[in-house]
Amino acid sequence: MVDTRWKTNVTVAAIVEREGRYLLVEEHTPEGLKLNNPAGHLDPGETPLQAVVREALEETTCRFTPTALLGVYLSRVRRAVPADDVTYLRLAFVGEVSEPLPGRMLDPEIVRTLWLTPDELRAQLARHRSPLLMRCIDDHLAGQRYPLELVYADASVLAAPKK
């Protein structure tokens, strides 16, 4: 029997602000060169907090220290072929980053990191990889923050898969 249950792709994002500018990545996507928060998929065997720390390091070469949950977001990318539609459930975390770590390389699809103001971001909406990019920035600007303890991962998540 074919499993017809709808499934989302769980992602995490790091929202980092310094002096009115937000840390972003410019990355190659199927739709061209786009801007995004440092973000990526939750991998098997890791918690959302572990995932956001890993993804931020891979995409920015900086250590990310989460301080709060910004929010939980749902979005959908619709493509010409329905089978290529993807729905994302994003857990966005606020935090701080270190300076880039010497000797680390950006993930291959990342062209560069940059720091932009909210106005600079709004002027480039067509270059956003996701509508969640600006929503997360706006929620951050509005002061939205939740305790990290809201994101619970049972120890079973970290268990080795059964063979």
Mean model confidence pLDDT for the chain: 92
Whole-number pLDDT of residue 4: 64
Within the chain, residue ranges assigned H as helices are 48-60, 118-122, 132-141
Q: Stretch 113-138: mean pLDDT, rounded? A: 96
The secondary structure of residue 59, as a DSSP letter, is H
pLDDT per residue as tens digits for the range 79-121 = 666 667 888 899 999 999 999 999 999 999 999 999 999 999 9
pLDDT band at 6 (very low <50, low <70, confident <90, very high): confident
Residue 43 belongs to what H/E stretch? none
Domains defined along the chain, listed by start: 9-147 (3.90.79.10)
Whole-number pLDDT of residue 159: 73
| pTM score of the predicted model | 0.91
Q: 112 near 26, Cβ under 8 Å? A: yes
Asked if pLDDT for residue 2 goes beyond 70, the answer is no
**Percentage, residues of the chain above pLDDT 90:** 81
Residue 83 belongs to what H/E stretch? none
97: CB partners within 8 A, 6+ apart: 14, 16, 23, 56, 60, 62, 63, 64, 65
Q: Stretch 51-60: mean pLDDT, rounded? A: 98
Q: Stretch 31-48: mean pLDDT, rounded? A: 95
Asked if pLDDT for residue 141 goes beyond 80, the answer is yes
